[in-house]
Each structure stands twice: as C-alpha cells, then as structure tokens.
Amino acid sequence: MQTMNVLAGIAFDPGIRGVLVVMVGVVVLMGSTYLLLATNVGARLGFLLALTGLFGWLVILTMIWWLTPPAIGPRGNLPSWKPVEIYVNGGSDQAKTDALAGLIDPASLPKADQILAGNPDLAKEFPNGFTLSDLQTNNPAIVSQYLDAEALNGWSLVGAANAGEAQAAADLELAASGVFKSATEYKKLNVWDYGGKPTLKDDCPDGGTICRVQHRITSALQIKNPKHYSVVQVQKVIPQQTIPGQAPPIPKADPSQPVISVVMVRDIGNERVIPFLYFVISLTLFIISAWALHNRDKVLMKNKAMADAASKES
C-alpha cells in the first residue's frame, strides 16, 4: 500500500514521461530484436549480433548528425558575434581593433537629404527616413553612387535585411556594458563588415561554372578562417514626449551626439564537434563488437577443423 502511494505521488511531468518513453522504446524495439535473434542463434550470440547492429545503425545516424547537425539534438555552439570593444567615434580614446583604422568616418558619409535630392522617389519607399544600410538592401546601385568601394579599404556595407544577428548582439552588448539602459535611447545607423573568407560574389563577380567550382574547392581547403569583423553604429536619439493615445514618435538621431561603434568578431562555433564525437564513439563500439564476432567465427572454425581432423584420425 505504501509503494502504491509513492507511485501515485510521482508527477508524470515531461522529464519522467521522457524516461518512460525511452525505457519502453528500448524494451520493445531492441528487446524484440534480441528476442528474435536469441531464439534462432542463442542468447549470447544473439546479444552480440543485436549489439553490433545497434552500433552500426548509430554510426549511420551520428554521421548524418555530423554532416547536418540536428535542430534539436546533440550539437555544439552555433556561430555568433562576440563583442570586442565599444568605440566612440571622435573621442579621445583610440580604437583597439587595428581594422577600424580603415573604416570610413561616419561624419564623411552622405546624408539622407543629399541622397533624397538626387533620388526623390526614395521618399515614397522610406517615408520615415533611412540609413545607408536600409538603402543597401533594395537599392545597392544608388549606394554605389555615393560610396566608392576603393575608399572603404576592404570594408563593405551590410544591408539592414542581413544585419539582424549583428544588431541583436550589439543591443545585448550596449545594455550589458551600461552605455545605454534600453534600445529606445539610441538609433541604429549603419552596419559594416570586414574580413572573413571570400564569398562567391567576391571570387566570381562575373559568375561562371569554372569559377564557382574553384571557389568551392579553395573555400573547403582553407582550414583557418580569417578574422571576420562586424561593426554596428548607433547614435543617441533626441528625447521626445509620447502623447497619450497616439503612437510613439519616430526616433530621431541626435546629430550633436557622437556615433558609437560596437565592434564584434565572428565566432564560428563548434556546431559539429559533439556529433563528431558521437560518431567516433559509435564507430569504435561497432568495430569492437564486429571484431568480437570475427574472433568468435575464427575460434569456431578452428574448433570445427580440429574436430574434423580428430574424426578422420579415429
């Protein structure tokens, strides 16, 4: 009676339910296979055969995990942006990252009014204003008219549509460092990219099958990844009062405040390390169990040969 009370008091939450599901799966699936083998070849040999088959299946499964890490399952750390420093443009402190010496000064960038004067149609697409990164997403040709690629010294402008991960990492770093209390105190400006492995567009600007194949091969053989930097620039906004019953006002950057650059470096992570370790363990166990089966067959054949020779002598 006391045992029943203990069992009744156990809450079947997802953790316990998961344990029970695994136990039932092992008993039903593996147990049924072992039972079938044991009734045909014996308990010991059936167990060794079932174990070898299990490890062989795990080798195939973990190899698939290694090539394509599962979304929910064993895998390492995903690639991410790691903050390096927060640099105030025009301040007294020097930037610690050497690559920042070649980044264009934000004060020398073309203003939105200047671009609108030459392209009035952009007012319909961006009624609330825009940055160069906003413009880079759908209007790269217009940006190229105002930004000389050679003057960027290897830096490239990132479109707003492709800068979400870097901007999110910059938001976390600005809040963690105490530069701003919340994301409403500043406005994101432009996002810049520097370094890393050459992309297909960099190596093959004109396309071509041969160039694409060469890019794939050289990129795969380049074991060490060059440092890849990303810079998210923000600026403090002008304080505005929210009128009750109306939408919050559109944030406007304060031109009298300095532009703050959040410098980050790309951490490629180790997403495939854990699946690879699972693959190595499964492969090792499969080799050991298969070797045990091989040795058993050799001993069996040796004993059979000795028995045949003894029967012929007698």
pLDDT in tens, the chain (314 residues): 566 666 555 555 656 777 888 888 878 887 888 888 888 888 888 889 999 999 999 999 999 999 888 878 788 888 999 999 998 887 777 888 888 888 988 888 888 888 988 888 888 888 888 899 999 988 888 888 888 878 888 899 999 889 999 999 999 999 999 889 888 899 999 999 998 888 887 778 777 788 888 888 888 777 788 899 999 999 999 988 888 887 778 888 888 899 999 999 999 888 999 999 999 999 999 999 999 999 998 988 988 888 888 888 76
Q: Specify the pLDDT at position 230.
A: 94
- Could you tell me the residue ranges of all domains in the chain? 2-75+273-313, 80-267
pTM of the model: 0.74
CB 144 within 8 A of CB 238: no
